[in-house]
Amino acid sequence: MSTQINIPATDSSIDAKNGVAVWQRLHSEREDICEALLKESTPGNEAGIQAANWHHELLQARLRKVDDALDQLMSGRYGECRKCGRWIEDTKLAFDPAIAFCLDCWQWMQVIH
C-alpha cells in the first residue's frame, strides 16, 4: 500500500524529502509502540504488575510525544520549540524526532520541576 504524504512547506530546514523521512520514522515508531501496548494488555501478562504499569505509562507518554511531533510535522511547525518557537537543533531532531523543546527551554523546565 502506498501512502501519499503532503508535508507543508515551511521556512525551516525540513524540506519535503526530509519531512517524509521524519514522518516515516515517527509513524514506524508509533506502530511499534501501539503493538507493544497491545501485547501488554493481553491476558497472561500479570507477572510484575507494578513494572508492567510503569512500562505501560512510559509507552503511553512516548506515544503522546510521537503523536505531537506528527501533528507538528503536518501543520508545518515541526522542529520549532513548543515553548519559545525557536528552531530545535538538527542534531537533536536527528537523535529524537519527537523532541518538543529547544535545549534552553528544556533546561528551564527542569529547574522549575
76: nearest Cα among 4, 6, 10: 10
Total-model pTM:
0.77
Question: One-letter amino acid identity for 99?
Answer: I
Confidence (pLDDT) at 52:
74
Write the DSSP string, 6-28: -PPP-SSS--HHHHHHHHHHHHH
> Domain ranges in the chain?
16-112
CATH T-level fold of 16-112: Four Helix Bundle (Hemerythrin (Met), subunit A) (1.20.120)
Cα–Cα distances in angstroms (integers) from residue 68 to residues 39, 43, 44, 51, 93, in the given order: 23, 30, 32, 26, 14
Confidence (pLDDT) at 54:
87
Q: Summarize pLDDT for 22-71 with one digit per residue, the tens.
A: 999 999 999 999 999 998 776 555 555 666 788 899 999 999 999 999 99
66: nearest Cα among 78, 84, 53, 81: 78
Q: Summarize pLDDT for 85-107 with one digit per residue, the tens.
A: 999 999 999 999 999 999 999 99
Confidence (pLDDT) at 112:
81
